[in-house]
Amino acid sequence: MSETSLPPSPTSRFLLNDEEDSPDLSFDGAEDILRAWSRGIRPDPNLTVSEWADRHRWLSSRAAAEPGRYRTARTPYLREIMDALSPGHPAQRISFMKAAQVGATEAGNNWIGFVIHHAPGPMLAVLPTVEMAKRASRGRLDPLISDSPALRERVNPARSRDAGNSMLFKEFPGGILVLTGANSATGLRSMPARYLFLDEIDAYPPSADEEGDPVTLAEARGTTFAHRRKVFLISTPTIRGLSRIEQEFEASDQRRYFVPCPHCGAMQWLEFERLRWEKGRPETAAYACNACDQLIAEHHKTSMLEAGEWRATATAADPHHVGYHLSALYSPIGWKSWEQIAREWLAAQGNDEMLRAARNTLLGETWVERGEAPEWQRLADRREVFGAQIPEGGLFLTAGTDIQKDRIEVDIWAWGRGLQSWLVDHIVIPGGPDSPVAWAELTKLLGRTW
């Protein structure tokens, strides 16, 4: 049942905003009907995912470093991302390329909670492997559900239905959540899904059981829902050229989180290149404003994040595709500090593996493999300009000829130490091997000097 198939009700706001109680009604059975409604058959089109999270999401000390009521204000940049996942938002494809430690996992958790509670429907959540899906079910979903009363009372106890046990189910009124791994084609083909949550997509295998790209397989499950579907793709990026999330982000409208400079007010997105510290002293790390160049101390971050906003920096080919990028520079105070980022960056110098991890997890950017550059690129990079016709180091010359039907082509090469060579001249003598004039010309050429 969709959110558009029910007639408008004058009591709906009351019902939906106060879902724990049913109104006092004058006829038998009405209360049950209304309770069933409020249990999630009819979603509230006005409640967004972030509003839902602030009202209904609870974090226990066993699953969260900061237990208590979930607060979107702690990570204000997640508000718009979460709200793009709400049914009232026109976006259908939401991609999020991010660093570690920015709270991105919670955006996904809140979406799951919102769907269970307020916009029920079939949801498919895909982790890189079935094993990881099982771990996520126990370590992440079970606390999500048991810690928030609104979810606890809606979700039936977990059970596994299929013999192969490659999928995990959570049933709730009006919907079902299936978790599976990108390595299981069976799991990806399991059911039509209005909501697709594709998590850590850069860790997906290239093909699911040799049946093709897991993202494509999963997305095929959503086509029947047309414009009402939502696809949320999220990952820390890996290697340029192989990274799925980078391709997604580049196809999107490429939103960056702009924050105001506390000194001059200029709005800007935070770039690692502008993080400054005294040589060898990461504890002095501060951010240099790109407008006034004054250093911004980290304690300003909280108010900067609060006043921040996402701005598109590109135009998406698909207007329903919004994409977000976030580095650890935005991590709230108390999580990953600028000092830690500077320290980890310094520690990684000289070690490609560590540098790669730092780029991926701190900056949320891909790593460019040195050996990955195409052949022509590496060759082109080695070009150099030499002033004289024969460069310094060219110790002797050779000539090579290519005899064609109607001409003789001659290359003159200079040779130096270590077989380094330079093309000095290229000469075409008209006339083929049958022409005595051409041969005479070639002989003359061998006597020439450069």
Residues that bind Zn ion (CB under 5 A): 261, 263-264, 266, 289, 291-292
What single string gives the DSSP state of each residue in 203-250? Answer: GS-SSSTTS--HHHHHHGGGGGGGGG-EEEEEE---BTTT-HHHHHHH
Of 291 and 297, the one with the shorter C-beta distance to Zn ion is: 291
CB of 93 to Zn ion, least distance (A): 35
CB of 344 to Zn ion, least distance (A): 26
Tell me the chain's radius of gyration from C-alpha atoms.
Answer: 31
CA 353 – CA 235 distance, rounded (Å): 19
Strands 295-296 and 281-288: antiparallel
What are the backbone dihedrals phi and psi of residue 59, each rounded to the nearest 5 degrees, phi first? -115, 130
CA 56 – CA 72 distance, rounded (Å): 12
What are the backbone dihedrals phi and psi of residue 420, each rounded to the nearest 5 degrees, phi first? -70, 140
Of 263 and 320, the one with the shorter C-beta distance to Zn ion is: 263
- The CA distances from residue 238 to 204, 308, 353, 368, in Å, are 11, 27, 12, 9
Helices (H), 231-374: 244-251, 301-306, 338-348, 352-358
CB of 304 to Zn ion, least distance (A): 11
CA 227 – CA 256 distance, rounded (Å): 25
CB of 112 to Zn ion, least distance (A): 39
Of 189 and 263, the one with the shorter C-beta distance to Zn ion is: 263
Helix-, strand-, coil-residue percentages of the chain, each rounded to 5: 35, 25, 40
Of 268 and 340, the one with the shorter C-beta distance to Zn ion is: 268
Q: Count how many residues are written for the chain.
A: 450
CA 428 – CA 439 distance, rounded (Å): 12
Question: Who contacts 136 (Cβ-Cβ below 8 Å, separation ≥6)?
Answer: 125, 127, 179, 199
DSSP type of residue 75: S
Of 133 and 270, the one with the shorter C-beta distance to Zn ion is: 270
Query: Mapping DSSP to helix (H, G, I), strand (E, B) and coil, where does residue 142 land?
Result: helix
What are the backbone dihedrals phi and psi of residue 21, each rounded to the nearest 5 degrees, phi first? -115, 150
CA 302 – CA 323 distance, rounded (Å): 23
Instruction: Supply 344's token pair.
Output: 């980890």
What are the backbone dihedrals phi and psi of residue 112, each rounded to the nearest 5 degrees, phi first? -60, -45
In 365-406 the beta strands, taken as DSSP E runs, fall at 396-403
CB of 267 to Zn ion, least distance (A): 10
Of 68 and 265, the one with the shorter C-beta distance to Zn ion is: 265
Of 25 and 291, the one with the shorter C-beta distance to Zn ion is: 291
Of 100 and 267, the one with the shorter C-beta distance to Zn ion is: 267
In sequence order, what are the beta bridge partners of 311? 256
What are the backbone dihedrals phi and psi of residue 192, each rounded to the nearest 5 degrees, phi first? -70, 140
Of 77 and 287, the one with the shorter C-beta distance to Zn ion is: 287
Instruction: Supply 422's token pair.
Output: 């330079």
Amino acid at 102: V
